[in-house]
Amino acid sequence: MQREQIDQVRRFNRTVTARVGVLHDSYLGRDRSIGAARLLWEVDAHEGSDVRRLRDRLGLDSGYVSRLLRSLEADGLVTVERQERDGRVRTVRLTGAGREELATLDGRSDELACSLLEPLNEVQKARLVRSMAEVDRLLTAATVTVDAVDPDHPDARHCMGAYFAELHERLSSGYDPDLSLLPDAAGLRPPRGLLLLARLHGEPVGCGGLKLPEGAPAEIKRMWVAPGARRLGLGRRFLAELETRARGLGRTVLRLDSNGRLEAALALYRSCGYREVPAFNDEPYADHWFEKHLDDGPAA
């Protein structure tokens, strides 16, 4: 990585933690501890979430979270009840008062935002906001992790389910997985294949599979990115990672089939060096087929 880039990031970190970080805490924590505020935020973001999930998402100690919840409960901001299905698990829900409290916290966030923008003129404001959006987007992208998982993992199932649902919605013909040539779970498990899963803050936000048939080119399958995680370059990252792994396994050719309705996907494949080829399978839902020779060019 270049020295100049690192230095700029450091300068950014210093400026931002000094200016935003400090204010952030002082604004939010005005009469509620910032731990409690964060927890409240998290409860709101995931209605009816269980304590364990909150703990994981915030990375906090179980005892600490428990104590915070007691204090929020005492203030009437949340209710905590045992789950029907599993009596050990407890579910947290915002009350009306909790929602109000959040609204005032949001108001303070607004004040902070205004105090940052206020001294600037209109041109500067617009520029700052635009750059913040870019930083936000790219830092989020950098937070996404991509790992190989077992196709039967609940997170993987979740993504594939969402993938099928989306296909069903977007293809003119609808979509029925049973009619498709998709590999089953075993077909995406080593050594017959692999499945990459992207996670953002622990939530699954995309998947990309690779089929490794013997005596035939490797095939990319089930590339999907959750709507909320698009425009983060995740598709490109999946392709790059799949290509690297395929190359590592001695493969030199990658294939995939897709559908003309999935415009963004087609554009992605083309811009990553995939060339359209005649149909190489009978996938009923495909009307475009692509191929890439891994030594053809960079995956970037």
Binding partner of 74, given DNA, its own copies, none, CB within 5-8 angstroms per partner class? none
Alpha-helix runs per DSSP H in the chain: 3-16, 22-28, 34-45, 51-58, 62-74, 96-117, 122-143, 154-170, 234-248, 263-271
Cβ 205 to its own copies, closest distance in Å?
A: 14
Here's the x/- map for its own copies, 10-39, by CB under 8 A: it reads as xxxx-xxx-xxx--x---------------
Q: 36 vs 95, 104, 264, 277, CA distance in Å? A: 15, 14, 41, 56
Binding site for DNA (CB under 7 A): 25, 29, 33-36, 50-52, 55, 60-67, 69-70, 80, 85-90
Cβ 209 to its own copies, closest distance in Å?
A: 21
Residue 82 tokens, joined: 């045992």
Is 143 a binder of its own copies (CB under 8 A)?
Answer: yes
Binding partner of 61, given its own copies, DNA, none, CB within 5-8 angstroms per partner class? DNA
Q: Which residue pairs, CB below 8 angstroms and at least 24 apart, start in 246-249?
A: 246/210, 246/212, 246/218, 246/294, 247/294, 249/212, 249/218
Residue 51 tokens, joined: 């304590």
* Residue 195: count of CB within 10 angstroms of its CB: 26
DSSP state of 18: I
Cβ 50 to DNA, closest distance in Å?
A: 4
Is 102 a binder of its own copies (CB under 8 A)?
Answer: no
Q: Is the sign of the CA dihedral 211, 237, 143, 248 positive or negative?
A: positive
| Identity of the residue, 157 or 201, whose beta carbon is nearer to its own copies in the bound complex | 201
Binding partner of 173, given DNA, its own copies, none, CB within 5-8 angstroms per partner class? none
Binding site for its own copies (CB under 8 A): 1, 5-13, 15-17, 19-21, 24, 106, 109-110, 112-114, 116-129, 131-136, 138-145, 233, 236-237, 240, 300
